[in-house]
Each structure stands twice: as C-alpha cells, then as structure tokens.
Structure 1
C-alpha cells in the first residue's frame, strides 16, 4: 500500500500541490488525468521521493518513504519519466540493464541478462537490443525505457513483496497498437501485488483500462474513484472546459467519450 497524507509543494510563491491525500492499493491500476499544469507530474515526483513535500508524509506500507534505505527503494519502486534522452551513448540492451543495477555489483549475471532480454521481448523490442539507443524513434525509446523499469521490478519466484511502478505518460509517442499493448501489459502487472500509478491524457483509455482514476486540477485532487463515476460529464466540463458526450461501445459495452 502507498499512502500520502496532506501533501503540499511550492516553487517560490507558486503552489503546485495543495493538500493532497490518497491511498493506492496493490492489485489496482490507477490512472491520473488532468489538464496541463494540474500537478500530475509533480505529484508523481513527490510520491517517488524525487521531490520533498513542504508538508505531509508518504508511506510505503507502514514505513515513511524517507526512512527506507535507497538500496531497498531501488528494488521496490521504478519510475518512467517523460525524459527519454540520455547524456551518454548506450545500446538498447545497456539501457535496459540499468534496471538491473540494484541487483549486482560490477557485472551482470547470466540471470540479469536473461531478465533484460525477456523484458525487451515483452515490449516488442528484442530485435533492437544491439541498436544504439540514440538512433531510435521517440516511441521506440519509450518502449526501451519501459523494458528498463520492468527489469528493475522483475519478480523472482517466491518474492511476494509489494512493488511500486510509476509511469509518466508512457504511451504519448506510441501508435494505437502499441498503446493498447503496453497498457494491457501494465494492467497485468498491477494484478501481481504491484501499486501502479500511470499519468495519461486519453480519457477513453482510462475508461477502458483503469481500476481507479485520480482527476486533478490546479494542484488538488478533484475526484478519485472508479472511472465511470469520476469521469462524468460535469467533472470533465469543469476540469477540461469542454462538454463531453458518452456513447456505449457496441461490442464491449463500455462508455466511450466523444466531444
């Protein structure tokens, strides 16, 4: 379980996060939506310890996040940010192996190499393993970084610990096919005793894949709960300033937003 209590965060006089509290449970796929500047990425940085809140506390299980040694955090949580480029020249396989750094000292084991390869296979990038990372398209880089965080949280047999996965717009550069492939993969991971926190912009994808939705606006949580309740006409009109309409998908029976 991840629990945040009364978080606030400021830069100068600008309040970016204003009294946010939430609880995220393992086994649930949580998606975060909101307009630009709503505080989504800042909240992710607070929950992962990248930024320190001005007020409030974050708990992983029953432990305050700052009290957990970094070596343990590196095996508990993984983060995929919007920053895809790297300041040094690496191959695709070397980028994915970065996810295994918490598990070996100097050189990766055969098992580490096998795990990295299986994660590349899971995102459809195994055939690119020897390519220079810098030569890839934006969407290909996104998939490689996703393989990296999957490798970091790879669960060995008998490991039943809670793990935490944070993804900041992980499908923004992907075509429709890969958007659904990746979200299906992440949704499956959520069922394996994992807290999953994913920032997206597509309301219909949240309606299709999320177990829970956090709708943010102006640094606060506007609403939180199951997608059908949170993403209603009044909420979307208030937060996104558009009037949506919903129809029922003829095959799945799910609500689909049009505007």
Structure 2
C-alpha cells in the first residue's frame, strides 16, 4: 500500500499541492488527470521522494518513505519522468541497463543482460538495441525508458514484495497503436502486485484503462474513484472548462467522450 496524508508543497508564494491525501493499493491501475499546471507532476515527485512536502507524510507499506534506504528503494520503485533526453552518449542497451544498476556492483551479470533484452522485447525495441539513444525519435525514446523502468522492477519468481511504478505522461510521444499497447502492458503490470500511478491527458484512455482515477485541479483532488464516478460531465466542465458529451461505444458499451 502507498499512503499519503495531508501533503502540501509550495514554491515561493505558489501553493502547488494543497492538503492532498490518498491511498493506492497493489493491483490497482491508477491514472491521474488534470489541466496543465494542476499539480500532477508535483504530486508524483512528492510520492516518489524527489521533492519534500512542506507538510504531510508518505508511507510505502508501514515505512515512511523518507526512512527507506535508497539502495532498498531503488529495488522497489521506478519512475519514468517527462525528461527523455540524456546528457551522455549511450546505446539503447546501455540506457535499459541503467534499470539494473541497483542489482549489481561493477558489471552486469548474464541475468541482468537477459532481463534488459527481455524488457526491450516487451516494448518492441529489441532490434534497436545497438542504436545510439540520441538518434531515436521521441516515441522510440519513450519506449526505451519504459523498458528501463521495467528492468528495474523485474520480479524474480521468489520475490513477492510490493513494487511501485510511476509514469509521467508515458505515451505523449506515441502514436495511437503504441498508446494502447503500452497502456495494456502497464495495466497487466498492475495485476502483478505493483502499485501503478500514471499521469495522462486523454480522458477516453482513462475511461478505457483506469481502475482508479484521480482528478486534480489547482493542487487539490477534485475527485477520486472509478473512471465513471469521477469523469462526469460536471467534473470535466468544472476542471477543464469544457462541456463534454458522452456516447456509448456500440461494441464495448463503454462511455466515450466527444467535444
């Protein structure tokens, strides 16, 4: 379980997160939505320990996040941020191997190499293994970084611990085919005792994939619950200043938003 209580964070006079509390459970695919500047990425940074709240606490299980040793945390938690570029001239394989750094001292083992290859295969990037990372498109870089965080959380058969995966707009540079492929993959990961926290902008993708939705506006949680409970006409109009219309998909019966 991940639990946050009464989180607040500000820069100067700007209150970016205002008294936010939430609980995330293993096996639950949580998607976070809100307008630009609502505080989504800041909340992710607080939940991962990248930023320190002005007030409030974050627990991973029964441990305070700030009390968990970094070496332990590196095997429990992986983060995919919006920053895709790297300051070093690395190959695709080397970028993915960064996810295995918590598991070896100087040189990766054959198991580490196999895990990195498997994760590249999972995201459809194995054939790019020897390419220079800097030469890739934005969408290709996004998939390589996803392979990196998958390698970091790769679970051995005997490992039953809860793991934590945080993704900040992981499909923003992908075409529609890969958006669905990646979200299907991440939803499957959530079923493997992993707490998944994903920031997205597409309401229809949240309606299709999310088991839990957190809607944020002006640093506060406007609504939290199932997609159908939270993403209502009233809520979307209040938060996004746009009147939505919903239709029913003729084959799946899901709600689909049009504007």
TM range (shorter): over 0.9
The residue number in structure 2 matching 1:218 is: 218
Give the C-alpha shift of residue 219 in structure 1: 0.2
Residue of structure 2 equivalent to 1:177: 177
What does 1:116-131 correspond to in 2, within 5 Å?
116-131=116-131
Q: Give me the TM-score of the superposition, normalised by structure 1.
A: 1.00
Match of 1:38 in 2: 38
Q: Distance in 1 between matches of 2:204 and 2:72?
A: 36
For residues 49 and 136 of structure 1, the distance between their equivalents in structure 2, rounded to whole angstroms, comes to 30
Structure-1 separation of matches of 2:86 and 2:208: 33
**Residue 242 of structure 2: SS of its match in structure 1?**
coil
Gaps of 5+ in 2: none
Distance of 2:184 and 2:109 partners within structure 1? 29
C-alpha root-mean-square deviation of aligned residues, in Å? Answer: 0.3
SS in 2 for 1:37: coil
The Cα shift of 1:163 comes to 0.1
Partner of 1:165: 165
Q: Alignment partner of 2:155: what SS?
A: coil
CA distance in 2, matches of 1:121, 1:179: 17
The alignment of Structure 1 onto Structure 2 pairs a total of residues equal to 259
List runs of 5+ in structure 1 lacking aligned partners: none
Q: Match of 2:84?
A: 84
Give the aligned partner of residue 23 of structure 1: 23
TM-score when normalising by structure 2: 1.00
SS at match of 1:171: coil
Q: 3-state SS of the aligned residue for 2:102?
A: helix
Query: What SS does the corresponding residue of 1:51 show, helix, strand or coil?
Result: coil
- Cα shift at 1:206: 0.2
Q: Give 1:158 deviation, angstroms.
A: 1.4
Structure 1 runs of 4+ off > 6 angstroms?
Answer: none
Q: Which residue of 1 aligns with 2:7?
A: 7
